[in-house]
Amino acid sequence: MSEYQTDQRKQLLEMAGELFMSLGIKSVSMDDIAKKLGISKKTIYQYVENKNDLLSQIIHSFTDKYNAELESKRSNTKDAIEEMNLIGKHITAHLRDISNATMHDLQKYYQKEWGIIENLHKKDMFKIIKDNLERGQKEGLYRMNIHTEIIASLYVESSFIICNEEVFPLKKYRREELVKELLEYHILGIVTDKGHNILKNLNK
């Protein structure tokens, strides 16, 4: 693939991703995407097989970018609690970019692609949370008697429960508030007295 083609594919994924995130997936056609980019559908199909393939590529591209941003921010935190708080804010910031229509479409009409998101998130987030738990134990901020793999798995699975509309309808709950409550529930269950004091100062 030439440099021009690489740039064009990147632009396609970014623009289509923005449309999907803001307007929903079902309501955005390949014609809409072509018109927005000022290119033909024939050109689009040089890079993707169909709309589902386009969505799948967007998900992988978004996940790579999301993880790179998070990794960069994590490296600058002073302790495990600040890092965990940052993880929660990072998730919240990205959830704001995803419309209710998009979340609904993914879970109802694009279950294969939603499964890709789940698998990628579970694999990457499990490692991030487990690393954070082990860091917090070394710093004396998290209890030593917790099972890090179990707690990491519980947090990751819970993060998908709060995205489940059947459990938490979007008309009743804001996703940002759900992330905040999950984060507090998680941290308060594992901190030592030293960690609790840091947490109180962080929340002031």
Mean pLDDT for back-to-back runs of 10 residues, the chain (204 residues): 88 95 94 94 95 94 87 90 90 80 90 87 90 97 97 91 84 88 94 92 72
- How many C-beta neighbours within 10 Å does residue 21 have? 20
**How far apart are the C-alpha atoms of 18 and 65, rounded to whole Å?**
14
CB 84 within 8 A of CB 185: no
Task: Name every residue whose Cβ is closer than 8 Å to that of residue 13 and which is 6 or more positions away in sequence.
Answer: 54, 57, 58, 61
Task: Name every residue whose Cβ is closer than 8 Å to that of residue 32 and which is 6 or more positions away in sequence.
Answer: 19
Can you identify the CATH homologous superfamily of domain 51-203? Tetracycline Repressor, domain 2 (1.10.357.10)
**How far apart are the C-alpha atoms of 58 and 106, rounded to whole Å?**
13
Query: What's the whole-model pTM score?
Result: 0.85
The predicted structure's pLDDT at residue 175: 83
The predicted structure's pLDDT at residue 130: 96
Task: Name every residue whose Cβ is closer than 8 Å to that of residue 171 and which is 6 or more positions away in sequence.
Answer: none
Domain spans of the chain, in order of start: 51-203
CB 93 within 8 A of CB 66: no
DSSP line for 11-66: HHHHHHHHHHHHH-STT--HHHHHHHHTS-HHHHTTT-SSHHHHHHHHHHHHHHHH
Paired tokens of 54? 């386009």
The predicted structure's pLDDT at residue 204: 63
Positive or negative torsion for Cα 30, 32, 37, 39? positive
